[in-house]
Amino acid sequence: MKIGELAQVAQCTVETVRYYEKAGLLAEPGRTSGNFRVYGPEHLERLRFIRNCRALDMSHEEIHALLLLLDQPGEDCGAVNAVFDAHMAHVDERIRELTQLKQQLAALRQHCQSEQAVAACGILHGLAVMEAESKPERHTHLG
């Protein structure tokens, strides 16, 4: 199948397919005599695998690690568990960060309990005078 067909069947864009090829996640396909890319069922299977990993917010590094493991079906899956455990730890950290952000937003929201003139808005006043802590580096494992 051609790249457009692959993208349609895999429910992504042609640009996504090309991007994953450039990132080394999807093997480059063969080419026709007219230099068109020709994809097989193995490309579709791998693309779906990559998309499912991305849907779980996995980084390209994590996906690459899983793909390497997928290509070694006789090995034990301890390394797969390690990738997933590390990913879940990243998710836990991000949840903590988002919980803290929500608490900060809720505290600001408490400064304005009724509609009034913008000049008297407690949220805007709070934003203007709050002492923002030095912003901690946002935790992310994504590149």
Q: Which domains, ranges and CATH numbers included, belong to the chain?
A: 3-55 (1.10.1660.10)
Residue with tokens 């309990």: 113
The model's pLDDT over 93-118, given as tens digits with 9 standing for 90+, comes to: 999 999 999 999 999 999 888 888 88
Cα separation, 111 vs 108, whole angstroms: 5
Which of 42-46, 58-62, 128-132 comes out lowest in average pLDDT?
128-132
Q: How far apart are CA 127 and CA 84, in angstroms?
A: 39
- At residue 16, the pLDDT reads 95
**pLDDT grade for 89, boundaries at 50, 70 and 90:** very high
Local structure of 31: helix, strand or coil: strand
pLDDT, one tens digit per residue, over 20-58 is: 999 999 998 999 899 888 999 999 999 999 999 999 999
Amino acid at 8: Q
Quickly count: other Cβ atoms within 10 Å of residue 124's Cβ: 14
**Range from 1-10, 51-60, 89-98, 115-124 carrying the lowest mean pLDDT:** 115-124
User: What is the reported pTM?
Assistant: 0.76
Output the pLDDT for position 131: 81
Whether residue 135 has pLDDT greater than 80: no
pLDDT of residue 143: 47
